[in-house]
């Protein structure tokens, strides 16, 4: 086993896939000599050179479009957004090109591209650098979307995404890069369409993803001491949602809480509630509780920023309330 930080796990995945397949290359701002804004490409430029670790100007629409074109010719680009918020400048390329070209070409082109980078509410990074864009991209047909939450799944998901023949967006949380975990030395891949049961339980299903997984785990540690038995599901795949794993849990617990950092209006939780109601409404004993971020731009002020997102004590209170309700 190797003990790696999350950014090192992502770097190792990139390095291994670049060694394995000469068609894989990285493109983005400061990915070369500087080694990436969060060091995910550190030292890779010295190993692979200018043609496979491409530093770009500050022109997200241009280099994302160039990467999509490269994917059409058979290369396998990895686009790093220095911050995922910046990729809003490439929204046209991602939506109208990456998501559509395999369909609009009648299957003549595959688009094996990975778009990855840091996002989420950081620590006083300001509104423009603290966006949660997963719901923006979830609405685009033709994309696969995954959100890593540990060094282990970060590495396995990135390797699978690089090998996939479809466009994949990998969301990494800016506050999780320094998480540390023992990883296998042997090669491994993780599925891009499966949720993870983090903790099996019988009382209630708590569905979460990305950084909120860790807030949920903190809350559940306290709840277990109080005699509760929650089940924790990390979505991992945001598109498509693994509704089968979620459904099996609901059939067992009959109660659901969704914990997300996404905004409440039009967020991942909103889509999740719709799919649960479509498929498992009769299995629910009580309405679903959704704990989401405030529908405002993230404040720069530290105390106000903290107040916009969900914390473990709110999860604990919601579980107590739901499990003590009269059915």
Residue 254 inside a domain? The answer is yes
Residue 189 inside a domain? The answer is no
Both 204 and 159 in one domain: the answer is: no
Both 160 and 265 in one domain: the answer is: no
User: Is 215 one of the annotated active-site residues of the chain?
Assistant: no
Q: How far is CA 258 from CA 30, 265, 281, 294, in A?
A: 36, 14, 15, 15
Both 148 and 179 in one domain: the answer is: yes
pLDDT tens-digit readout, 202-213: 999 999 999 999
pLDDT tens-digit readout, 101-121: 999 999 999 999 999 999 999
Both 11 and 143 in one domain: the answer is: yes
Catalytic residue among 29, 45, 80, 129: 129
User: Quick check: pTM over 0.75?
Assistant: yes
Residue 278 inside a domain? The answer is yes
Q: How many domains does the chain have?
A: 2
- Please give the pLDDT value at position 4: 95
Residue 107 inside a domain? The answer is yes
- Please give the pLDDT value at position 122: 86
Provide the H-helix boundaries in 192-311: 212-225, 243-253, 268-280, 302-308
Report residue 327's pLDDT band, with 50, 70 and 90 as the boundaries: low
- Final residue belonging to a domain, choices 125, 157, 183: 183
Both 135 and 244 in one domain: the answer is: no
3-state secondary structure 70-107: HHHCCCEEEEECCCHHHHHHHHHHHHHHHCCHHHHCCC
The CATH number covering residue 202 comes to 3.40.50.920
Both 264 and 158 in one domain: the answer is: no
- Please give the pLDDT value at position 1: 80
Report residue 229's pLDDT band, with 50, 70 and 90 as the boundaries: very high
Q: Which domain holds residue 201?
A: 196-323
Dihedral, 14, 17, 19, 21 alpha carbons, nearest 10: -140
pLDDT above 70: percentage of residues in the chain: 99
Q: Which has more confidence, 25 or 131?
A: 25
- Please give the pLDDT value at position 76: 98
The CATH number covering residue 103 comes to 3.40.50.970
- Final residue belonging to a domain, choices 127, 148, 183: 183
Residue 188 inside a domain? The answer is no
Average pLDDT score over the chain? 96
pLDDT tens-digit readout, 267-320: 999 999 999 999 999 999 999 999 999 999 999 999 999 999 999 999 999 999
Both 169 and 239 in one domain: the answer is: no
Catalytic residue among 60, 172, 196, 260: 60
Both 91 and 171 in one domain: the answer is: yes
What DSSP string describes 32-84?
STT--TTSTTTTHHHHH-TTTEEE--S-HHHHHHHHHHHHHTT-EEEEEPSSG
Q: Is residue 106 classed exposed, middle or buried when 0-12, 13-18 and 19+ CB atoms within 10 A define those classes?
A: exposed
Residue 161 inside a domain? The answer is yes
Report residue 326's pLDDT band, with 50, 70 and 90 as the boundaries: low
- Final residue belonging to a domain, choices 150, 183, 216: 183
pLDDT tens-digit readout, 125-182: 888 888 889 999 999 999 999 999 999 999 999 999 999 999 999 999 999 999 999 9
Both 226 and 77 in one domain: the answer is: no
User: Is 128 one of the annotated active-site residues of the chain?
Assistant: no
Residue 230 inside a domain? The answer is yes
Residue 190 inside a domain? The answer is no
């Amino acid at each position: 086993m190797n003990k790696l930080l999350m950014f090192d796990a992502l770097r190792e995945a990139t390095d291994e896939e670049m060694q394995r397949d000469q068609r894989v290359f990285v493109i983005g701002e400061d990915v070369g000599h500087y080694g990436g804004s969060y060091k995910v490409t550190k030292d890779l430029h010295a190993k692979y050179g200018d043609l496979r670790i491409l530093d770009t100007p500050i022109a997200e629409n241009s280099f994302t479009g160039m990467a999509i074109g490269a994917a059409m010719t058979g290369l396998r680009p990895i686009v790093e957004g220095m911050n995922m918020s910046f990729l809003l400048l490439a929204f046209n390329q991602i939506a109208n090109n990456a998501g559509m070209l395999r369909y609009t070409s009648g299957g003549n082109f595959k688009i094996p591209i990975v778009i990855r980078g840091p996002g989420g509410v950081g620590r006083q990074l300001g509104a423009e650098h603290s966006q949660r864009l997963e719901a923006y991209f979830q609405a685009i047909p033709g994309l696969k979307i995954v959100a890593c939450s540990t060094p282990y799944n970060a590495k396995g998901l990135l390797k699978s995404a690089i090998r996939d023949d479809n466009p994949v967006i990998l969301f990494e949380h800016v506050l999780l890069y320094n998480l540390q975990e023992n990883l296998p030395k042997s090669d491994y891949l993780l599925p891009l369409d499966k949720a993870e049961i983090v903790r099996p339980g019988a009382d209630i299903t708590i569905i979460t993803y990305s950084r909120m997984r860790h807030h949920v785990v903190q809350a559940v540690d306290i709840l277990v001491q109080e005699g509760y038995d929650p089940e924790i599901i990390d979505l991992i795949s945001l598109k498509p949602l693994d509704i089968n794993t979620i459904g099996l849990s609901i059939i067992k617990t009959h109660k659901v809480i969704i914990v997300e950092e996404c905004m409440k209006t039009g967020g991942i939780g909103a889509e999740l509630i719709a799919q649960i109601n479509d498929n498992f409404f009769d299995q629910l004993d009580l309405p679903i509780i959704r704990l989401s971020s405030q529908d405002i731009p993230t404040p720069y002020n530290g105390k106000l920023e903290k107040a916009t997102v969900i914390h473990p004590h709110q999860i604990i209170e919601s579980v107590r309330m739901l499990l003590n309700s009269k059915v």
